[in-house]
Structure 1
Amino acid sequence: MGLRHPSEWRTLFLLVAVYLGWGLLVWNPVNLPLGLQVLLLIPLITLHSSLQHECLHGHPFNNQPLNDALVSVPIGLFIPYLRFKRAHIRHHHQAELTVPGDDPESWYLTPNNWRGHSRLMKTLLTANNTLAGRVVLGPFIGLPTFVRSDWTQPGARWVWIKHLFAVALLLTGLNLLAGLPVWTYLLAAYGGYGLLTVRTFLEHQADKDPRARTVLIEDQGWFSLLFLNNNLHAVHHAYPNVAWYDLPDLFARNRGRFLALNRHYHYPNYRAIWRSYAFRRKEPVVYPLVSGLPTQATVTPASPPTHFDADREGAL
């Protein structure tokens, strides 16, 4: 039941800070304006999502059910933590990165799926491949896609039903006890989800070399804290057991090696990404490596592993 490492106090501190900050914002004892409440809730919800990612990788305790319990409170509303955990473990250990239908975190479409969309949806999907479009449209497009694919998986429906019940209780409590309108919190949760897509926007790209599919962004500012250094995504994929606070030092000591391994799929910071792709599409919507696609247009994700070894090292 103990901490994995004494330095995991940092993760615990952040968890406590997020929940305390969230509680103060929704209770609002200083009577902040409603708009400011929403704006402050958005990054807290995003940071909670980053902590969910940290906990599913085996932090901060040696006991995984305890780690799961710490971040299962559905303050982000839209996705059950256990379903996100299942999809993300598959992303690391079973999927071929970026391949639609195989990688549950891929934003690419197969040619058949693309042809099946209306002209309006194709326009939205194309806008979604700009950074500004991803922040605004990403939750609107990504959530229904995730729900449709996840709903068919064994045991998923019961998890979703329990999640929706917990969300209903949360929203009711916020409205009755804290006086926070439901639509306001829905807006904050959508914004938190949208802000998270700044990280996921280009963390993987289709490339014939699998090692070149995972990005390195050397941002050391606000976004690196918000995403718990997961901007060093190639490092995380190589060593998924390493805690968020150790990733920068691991990268700094092996910078040349990591850049060579991921074929310099690299950006200096998020400002550079915004300047390049705020309103310009970075990737095609249709998966460009057609020869790497599964034989079927739509592939049902496989069942999750029966256990997750948090100390397993992955590959770029």
Structure 2
Amino acid sequence: MTTATLPQTRVSFRLLAETFLVFGILMAASIACLGWESPARWLVLAGLIVGQGLWLDRMYIAAHEAIHKKLFPDHPALNDALGTLLLLPVAAPFTVYRKIHFFHHGHNRRDAHTANLDTFPTARPLTPLRRGYYHAVWIFFVFLGGFFVHSIAAVLIFLLVPAARAEKISPVFKHWRGSRRLRAWAEFAGGLGFHAAVWWALGFEAWMVALGLPLAVFAWVWSLLLYVYHYDTTVGPDVRHNVRSLPRQRFFSWLLLNFNEHATHHYDPNIPWHQLPDRRDILPEAHHHNQGVTSLWQAVWQQTKGPHIEEIADVGEFSVDLGLMRR
């Protein structure tokens, strides 16, 4: 029996066991490495920190399954509780993640300034200096962890800014009820509490190598990969197809839970991660341009071209999509 044909509950338990076990092993190994008397200690520790940063991305994507209610579809409370637990190390509120991500699926690149991260609308004259500024902002967002900073700002808006004012920033904030805000506060506090507990119990150095520095690696990797499945793809009302898939690469397909099959995920977000390769959706001919890259590395490098800059008479209300949409 292949993974694709296993019952969903069994697959989810296996996924969670693997995800939490590896997280714990990397965390323990990093802390143990602090006391290792060897010239190679710092090299090994650097490898463990990078590995944990990549694994935090795995935990974030495992939580993405819970966002779509696919971990335990018959047990919504358990599904959401485990999704919240997966996000504790990155202190991302599960409720905010779901709200923004659902907006992303419903409005992905609908037009030049709705859920479209690589288009910068401007009502000001586009001088060479302004064009260079926008390009620098994009490079910061993608290659220097800026999208992670952008998402922290989104979380703070969800937590602190009154809904009526937040809606003027982006339609993603519409219908943000007080009960959801309270739940998001509890989830955010849980993440901060997890970090504080590790710091208090094990000390600053242990927290730094087990969580602090890996979180910085996660912020960089997450920003780097955030838009590789949508950069320079089609724009228009057929929002399910404004996306690309990438060829399978064994390590990354395992690490990122088949996220390379992104066109299939957008075509039907209800397909569990382990069934994506067998249920692959082929983009319509009008969207074949989206498949203009042949590897993950090419998709990353393509983003150095910078953003599309559109001069418009009035920017008005537009969605910046606020990062946490997750690819």
Decide whether the 8 Å contact of 1:234 with 1:262 is kept in 2.
no
Deviation per residue, 1:62-104 (Å, 9 max, x gap): 22221111120233424211110111112223x253557643x
Partner of 1:90: 103
What are the superposed Cα offsets for residues 161-200 of structure 1, whole Å, 9 maximum, x if unpaired? 3234212321122123344544442331232233233432
1:3-36 superposed Cα distances (whole Å, 9 cap, x missing partner): x961542332121111122223333488125434
Query: Residue 123 and residue 143 in structure 1: after superposition, are their counterparts in 2 closer, same or farther (change >3 A)?
Result: farther
The residue number in structure 1 matching 2:156 is: 147
Residue 50 (str. 1) matches residue 61 (str. 2): yes
Give the match for residue 60 of structure 1. Answer: 71
The aligned runs of 1:81-230 (5 Å cut-off) are 81-93=94-106, 95-97=107-109, 99=111, 102-103=114-115, 106=117, 108-112=119-123, 122=134, 124-128=136-140, 133=143, 136-145=145-154, 147-148=156-157, 151=161, 152=163, 153-155=176-178, 157-179=181-203, 181=205, 182-184=207-209, 185-204=211-230, 205=232, 207-211=234-238, 213-230=242-259
Matches within 5 A, 1:275-294: 275-277=301-303, 280-284=304-308, 286=309, 288=310
Of all paired residues, the percent bearing the same amino acid is 16
Aligned partners of 1:24 and 1:113: how far apart in 2? Answer: 52
The superposition leaves residues 206-262 of structure 1 with CA deviations (integer Å, 9 ceiling, x where unpaired) of 6344445211211332222222112221111111111111111222xx5xx436363
Larger helix fraction of residues: 2
In structure 2, distance between residues paired with 1:262 and 1:76: 37
How many equivalent pairs are there? Answer: 281
The whole-number CA distance in structure 2 between the counterparts of 1:154 and 1:81 is 15
**Cα RMSD between the aligned structures?**
3.6
Residue 12 of structure 2 aligns with which residue? 11
1:46 CA drift (Å): 0.3
| Distance in 1 separating the partners of 2:222 and 2:312 | 29
Question: TM (normalized to structure 2)?
Answer: 0.71
Verify: 1:296 aligned to 2:316, yes or no: yes
Q: Which runs of 5+ in 1 are unaligned?
A: 302-316
Matched to 1:126, the amino acid is W
SS at match of 2:307: coil
Equivalent position to 1:244, from 254, 273, 276: 273
Partner Cα distance (2:30, 2:71) in 1? 31
Counterpart Cα distance in 1 of 2:120 and 2:64? 25
Residue 88 and residue 276 in structure 1: after superposition, are their counterparts in 2 closer, same or farther (change >3 A)? Answer: closer
- The runs of 5 or more residues in structure 2 that have no matched partner are 35-44, 164-175, 322-327
TM-score (norm 1): 0.73
Whether the 8 Å CA contact 1:50–1:228 is kept in 2: the answer is yes
Distance 1:215 1:76 in 2: 29
Which whole-Å CA distance do the structure 2 matches of 1:230 and 1:289 have between them?
33
Larger RCO of the pair (alpha carbons < 8 Å, separation 6+):
2
Give the direction of change, closer, same or farther, for the CA distance of 1:162–1:260 in structure 2 (3 Å limit): same
With 34-43 and 205-214 compared, the bigger mean Cα shift is at 205-214
Deviations 1:122-142 (A, max 9, x none): 46413146x5x2x53321234
Contact 2:113 2:119 in 1 (8 A): no
